[in-house]
Amino acid sequence: MTADPMTDPFAGADARWMAGRTALVTGGGQSTAFPGVGYATCRVLARHGARVAVLDRDAGAAGRTVKLITEDGGTAVPVIADVTSDRACAGAVAETAGAFGTLDAVVNCVAAGDRGGLFDTTPEHYDRLMTVNLRSAWSIMRHAVPVMPRGSAIVNISSVTVRSRGPGMIYSVAKAGLENLTEGAATSLGPQGIRVNCVQVGVIWGAFAARGPMPESLREPRRLSTSLKTEGTSWDVAYATLFLLSDRARWISGHILAVDGGPPHHYDTEPVTSVPQGE
């Protein structure tokens, strides 16, 4: 039976958009003074009622995120795993479902970047970038989907550097593959009632940029490369992710949402090349 189209299906609903849900976020640890996308996403989801599994290879970083969430009145557990291992991904999913009894949301945020050209690297480095940025998301989804109930959602974190023509192209190639994986998974999982979307992160001044690869002198040019002329943060990405995971986005799947301050961007210039998030 079709619901009355004049009735708001969320009228009177809990203002916390993830109340009663369990979310697994890869790359959710906090290890720098600037908040990473994974960390910010964990905090935002917890504030909106989610029980959060903070997956990170660094136990200290995961523990810091969990500590801040619990001090804020939320619920979280650390899940220590190296997502380059399919077995570790399977274990992380099992640990999350075991801790909370369900798994309703997944955010694939972990990333590793480079600033090299397309061919001035080694096969080993190429394989690592593909494994961290692309295969890890496939592994997490592969193990998560069988335990995710109807109405669940997945968000993969990509980057506007998929349109880059400068350094960091292998990272960009991997992220382009992640976007294609998102669209394919949305088609495959739609009949199961599982939505899959992607957030394409713009040139924010987040944890990766702030901790060394990007000199401070590039911060202002990066801000000016957006049409809004304002600096984006990890929190902007986290709130977009919250929306896509929530029931408010119940009819959105297979979408690539750019959270980038609006065009134009100068993708072939130094300030906007290779800005991975989440690691």
Active site residues: 171
- Are the C-beta atoms of residues 237 and 201 closer than 8 Å to each other? yes
Q: What is the rounded distance in angstroms from the CA atom of residue 11 to the CA atom of residue 235? A: 26
**Element at 54 (helix H, strand E):** strand 51-56
